[in-house]
Structures are given as C-alpha cells and as structure tokens.
C-alpha cells in the first residue's frame, strides 16, 4: 500500500495553487487545479479581459456629417454630464472606465467637466440598466429649464428618437465605427417643457421624443499578450468563445485582432434572443468560435449549461453580480479581481488579480503540469511495488528453499523513509515540452490508466525486480549458498544472509533513484528538460542515499533493521542500478516517440 500517495497528491495540488497565486490566479479549491488541466472551452468577456480596459475617446459623429467644433463640444459635453464618475482627493477620476474616458475626452475637446458642478445641476439620474442598455439624467440649465440627456447603445437610444431624426444615417455610422473595433455610444437630449414640476418625471416619460446629438467612438486596445495566449489555446485544442454585452461588430473586430475565430468566426448579434435549439446547433460546429454579442447574464448561464450538456469542460469569466449563476454553473468560474464584484468573486472558483485573459491560459497550462506531475509520482511510487513483492513471491514459490530476501521493517523504511521526498519533488517538476500542444484530456479519463500500470509495474518494476534479485543471489552464491541451505541465526551463512537482504534493500533504493529520474518525463527525453532542472529532486535523492547509508552502516540501526555493512563489490553492483533502470525506460520512450512520429 503506497502510504505516501495521499499526502503527496495533496501537497502537489497545494504547490500548484501557490504557484498560480504568484502568477495572478487565486484558486479557491484544490481540486480545481486538476480540473483546469482538462478545460477545453473558455467563454471570455471582452472589456478588461481581452482588452486593457483603458478607454479613450477616439472618434465622434454628428448628424450634419461635417461637425463644427461647437457641435462636437456639445456632444462630448452632454456625454460627460451623463456619467456618475467622481474625482478623488488627489485629483484622479474614479468610476466606470467608459465614463472616465468620456469625461477625459470632453476635457480634450475644450469642454471640461467638474463632477461637483455636474451633480449640483442634476435633478434626477436613471442609472445604467443592462437590459435597456442606456442611462439618462435630468439636468437644470442656466435659466432653470430642465433637459434630459440619454446615453447608451445606439440601437437602444435611436429607438427613442423623435420623428424626422436621422436614424438610418446614425445606424450606418455606428456600424462603421464598430467595425473599427470601437465601443459606440449614442447621445441624445430632450428639452422638457417650461413649468415642469420639481418632481422628476418617470423614466419612460423622460426617455422619449429625443433629439440626437451624435455618436462617440471609444477605443480600448487589446492586451498585447492576449494574441499569443489565444494562439496557445488553439495549439492546445481549446475553443475560445466571447460572451459580451458589446456590439457584435466591435466584439468581432477585437476577437479577430487577437486571433479568436481561426479559421471561422460566427457573430450572434442578439444573443439574448437565441433559443436552445439554435444554441445547441451552433456549439456543435467544429472549428467555429462564436461571439455572443449583446448578451445578458442569462445568456452566459444558457451557454454554460449547453456546453456542459455537450460534455465540455467550461471556464467562464464574469465580473458582475448577475454573472454569479453562470460562474457557479461553469466547471471553472473565473472572476475579475480588479473590476469584479464581491458576489462574482464569491461564486467563482478562480479569481484573476490582473483581469487578464493570458492568466487563464497560464492557469490551464499549470493545471496540465500539476496533473502530469501527479501521474509521474504515481508511476514512481507504483514502480517500487514490483521489486517489493517479487522477493516474497520467490520465497513462497520456492517453499522456503530461498530465504526471505527482504524484511518487513526494511519495506517500511522504503515506503515511509526513502520514497517520500523524491515523490514530493516530482510534484514540483517543470512542464514537459509540448504540454500545450496536445489536446485536452477527456473528463472521463482516470488519473491511473493502463499505460501507467504497464510502465510502472510491467517495465520499471520488472527491471528493478530483476536487478534487485540479482544483487540478492550474487551475495548468497558468492558465500557458497545453495537452495535449501539454512541461513538462520547461528548458521555459517547467517551473516551472508543479512548482507544479501541489505543488498536487496539498497538495490531497491538505488532503483528508486533510477525510477525517479525516469519518471520526470512521460513523453520527452530527459535531455529536453535538463538533468539539473529540479534541484528538489536532487536533494531528495541525496537524502534517501544518506538515509540508506545510515541504515546499512550505523550499528544501532543495523540491529533494528537487520542490516549488515555491504562490501565494496556489492556497493559497486547496486550503484549501477540507477542508470540501468533509467536507461531502459529512456529506450522505451525513444521507441514510443519514433513509433508515434511515424
């Protein structure tokens, strides 16, 4: 029974969590590290995840086509007044990045805004509604007249314009700006009739018969590292979908810029109205990545449920309160640490401290590495079972004609003493080359499979057992032993028997060294990862060799464990075991790579 298996797995997962935390991904559940390794679909937001979330006012459009400076200034001033940003004591603006960009853009167009003055003239504020996709305010002018300012998605605002407004031209202009990857907002106003009471009208009464001031285009540049991260996703067999509340053309332009949608990108412009049957059909298309534009939190939940029903392992990003159900439903809910709400972080499995898509890919790679390392130390631990069991089989099958080559205390010294530290060190092994070039493992795949058992028990274990029994019989035959000769206390061969069992014990330990080196890679050659790249493993090997030397040569431990000092020729013999064990497995992996390559 491999006693060290449970603590080794737990510590390997804990180390994976700590490493990910240093890289910007805080994992809230140990088992999620293993789940990350099998993730095959990422559903990501756009703003702040694929992009920098650093909005800048780049373009404006007014109904007159060639706007004058006064028209542009009126447009950006109205957009800036329809915000809720505040100015902190040190002078910095605080609030939504989109609204900060509007206020800064107004200052750049000679229309600076003081948030305190804005609030002093405000009579009502209808905050942004994600379903209506707009917000509005009621301001008091210099002469006491009230004016409604509405800001929001073009399709949401244009539907509220008065008759005769240039709706068609505005839609074409909005599409052109969105195709350039800009977030487009429409700004419209309405003068309330004189004599309107101090009480603000209802929202539906205020937001009607509007006059269009124009459109503003905000640019949020993609994060420079995202394109490489998306490319790594594709190489690893992962599918990346974008689920965003933005316009479809804007989201598609950003997606194409970072490489999402290779070879085919499909854009669902009104994803909140998609039915289940159509969604299932879309998600079954191989090689297609989808932009779900103008999505709602319910859309995220629907997408997560559909992907789970198809047997996919889903990582879903979100930052709002309403994203919590989708984050909880996905296998890996990813909340934003900077822009996310407390509710989203509480419902998630992983929190990104930098809100960066590339960190998700790094976490998936780390999950694959941790999973591989768990398999590596399982191979290492299981490989010792064969050379521990074979001596007892030889003793039993010979009906005692061959004395017991290994004692119970010596087995415990191996399982609890020499084995643990190298196994823990294998949990810190670096990733093999090509770890992100193979497809995600199926969710139904067991950690222990037939190939692992064949490698550990049938290859490394048998090679080790043959070497260990060779050392045992070498010592006995050199002393003149023949099958059936007595080796008990007081017999002439008793000391030779103690030396032989010690050779068996030392042989298993040295075979452990060879197995630990071999287990560092499952596919690649050792030269590809470097012999000295895991100093913890080298320290663990040094410890087990010193521990073995103490049991072999220290008189108090000799009496306790039934060992005897090994002569030089036996030491040289067991010293040859590590390269023989590792070398045989290196040949096996070379033949396997050559076969798969052909």
CA-based nearest residue to 220, from 55, 359, 14, 356:
55
Residue entry with tokens 């679909």: 41
Question: How many CB atoms are closer than 10 A to CB 557?
Answer: 15
Beta strands in 113-257 (DSSP E): 122-129, 134-140, 146-152, 182-191, 211-219, 239-243
Q: Two tokens at 51?
A: 């992009």
Q: Kindly give the pairing relationship between strand 332-336 and strand 350-352.
A: parallel
Task: For residue 2, count CB atoms less than 10 angstroms from its CB and return exposed for 0-12, middle for 13-18, buried for 19 or more.
Answer: middle
> Which run of H or of E encompasses 507?
helix 494-519
Determine the 3-state secondary structure of 568 from DSSP. Answer: helix
Distance between CA atoms of 99 and 79, rounded to whole angstroms?
8
Alpha-helix runs per DSSP H in 159-247? 167-179, 203-206, 226-235
Distance between CA atoms of 403 and 487, rounded to whole angstroms?
7
Distance between CA atoms of 418 and 542, rounded to whole angstroms?
10
- The length of the chain is 598
User: b vs e for 571-586, b when ≥16 Cβ sit within 10 Å of the residue's Cβ?
Assistant: eebbeebbebbbebbb
Q: What is the SS3 assignment for 410-425?
A: HHHHHHHHHCHHHHHH
CA-based nearest residue to 124, from 134, 135, 137, 140:
137
CA-based nearest residue to 319, from 46, 56, 93:
46
Active site residue 585: no
DSSP sequence for 19-59: HHHHTTEEESSTHHHHHHTT--EEEE-STTTTB----EEEE
DSSP sequence for 540-563: HHHHHHHHHHHHHH-HHHHHHHT-
Annotated active-site residue in 40, 45, 139, 415: 45
Task: For residue 490, count CB atoms less than 10 angstroms from its CB and return exposed for 0-12, middle for 13-18, buried for 19 or more.
Answer: exposed
Question: How many CB atoms are closer than 10 A to CB 273?
Answer: 11
Q: Two tokens at 27?
A: 């994992």
Residues with Cβ within 8 Å of residue 161, at least 6 apart in sequence: 167, 188, 209, 210, 211, 212
Q: Which residues are catalytic?
A: 45
């Amino acid at each position: 029974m491999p006693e060290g298996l449970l603590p080794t797995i737990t510590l390997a997962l804990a180390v994976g969590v700590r490493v990910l935390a240093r890289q910007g991904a805080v994992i809230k559940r140990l088992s999620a590290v293993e789940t990350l390794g099998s993730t095959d679909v990422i559903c990501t937001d756009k703003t702040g995840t694929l992009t920098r979330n650093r909005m800048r006012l780049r373009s404006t459009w007014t109904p007159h086509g060639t706007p004058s400076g006064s028209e542009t200034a009126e447009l950006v001033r109205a957009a800036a007044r329809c915000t809720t940003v505040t100015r902190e004591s040190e002078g910095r603006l605080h609030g939504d990045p989109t609204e900060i960009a509007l206020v800064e853009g107004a200052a750049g167009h000679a229309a600076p805004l003081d948030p305190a003055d804005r609030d002093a003239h405000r009579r009502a504020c209808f905050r942004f509604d994600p379903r209506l996709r707009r917000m509005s305010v009621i301001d008091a002018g210099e002469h006491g007249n009230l004016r409604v300012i509405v800001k929001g998605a073009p399709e949401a605002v244009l539907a509220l314009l008065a008759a005769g407004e240039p709706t068609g031209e505005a839609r074409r202009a909005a599409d052109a700006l969105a195709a350039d990857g800009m977030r487009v907002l429409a700004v419209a106003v309405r003068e309330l009739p004189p004599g309107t009471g101090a009480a603000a009208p209802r929202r539906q009464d205020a937001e009607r018969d509007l006059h269009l001031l124009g459109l503003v285009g905000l640019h949020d540049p993609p994060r420079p590292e995202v394109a490489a991260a998306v490319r790594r996703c594709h190489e690893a067999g992962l599918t990346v979908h974008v689920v965003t509340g933005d316009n479809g053309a804007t989201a598609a332009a950003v997606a194409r810029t970072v490489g999402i949608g290779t070879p085919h990108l499909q854009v669902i412009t009104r994803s909140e109205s998609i039915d289940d049957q159509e969604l299932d059909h879309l998600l079954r298309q191989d090689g297609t990545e989808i932009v779900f534009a103008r999505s709602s939190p319910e859309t995220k939940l629907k997408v997560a449920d559909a992907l789970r029903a198809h047997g996919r392992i889903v990582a879903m990003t979100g930052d709002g309160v309403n994203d919590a159900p989708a984050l909880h439903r996905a296998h890996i809910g990813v909340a934003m640490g900077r822009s996310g709400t407390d509710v989203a972080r509480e419902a998630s499995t992983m929190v990104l401290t930098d809100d960066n898509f590339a960190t998700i890919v790094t976490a998936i790679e780390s999950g694959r590495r941790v999973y591989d390392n768990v398999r590596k130390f399982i191979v290492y631990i299981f490989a010792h079972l064969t050379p521990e069991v074979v001596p007892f089989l030889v003793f039993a099958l010979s009906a005692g004609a061959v004395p017991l080559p290994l004692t119970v205390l010596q087995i415990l010294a191996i399982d609890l003493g020499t084995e643990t530290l190298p196994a823990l060190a294998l949990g810190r092994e670096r990733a093999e080359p090509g770890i992100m070039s193979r497809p995600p493992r199926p969710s139904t795949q067991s950690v222990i499979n037939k190939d692992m058992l064949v490698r550990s028990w049938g290859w490394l274990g048998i090679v080790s057992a043959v070497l260990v029994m060779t050392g045992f019989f070498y010592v006995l035959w050199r002393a003149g032993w023949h099958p059936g000769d007595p080796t008990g206390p007081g017999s002439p061969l008793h000391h030779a028997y103690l030396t032989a069992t010690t050779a068996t014990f030392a042989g298993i330990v040295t075979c452990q060294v060879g197995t630990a080196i071999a287990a560092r890679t499952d596919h690649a050659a050792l030269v590809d990862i470097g012999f000295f790249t895991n100093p913890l493993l080298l320290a663990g090997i040094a410890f087990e060799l010193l521990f073995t030397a103490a049991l072999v040569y220290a008189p108090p431990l000799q009496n306790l464990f039934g060992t005897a000092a090994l002569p030089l020729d036996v030491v040289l013999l067991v010293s040859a075991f590590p390269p023989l064990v590792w070398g045989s497995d290196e040949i096996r992996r070379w033949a396997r790579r050559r076969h798969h390559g052909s």
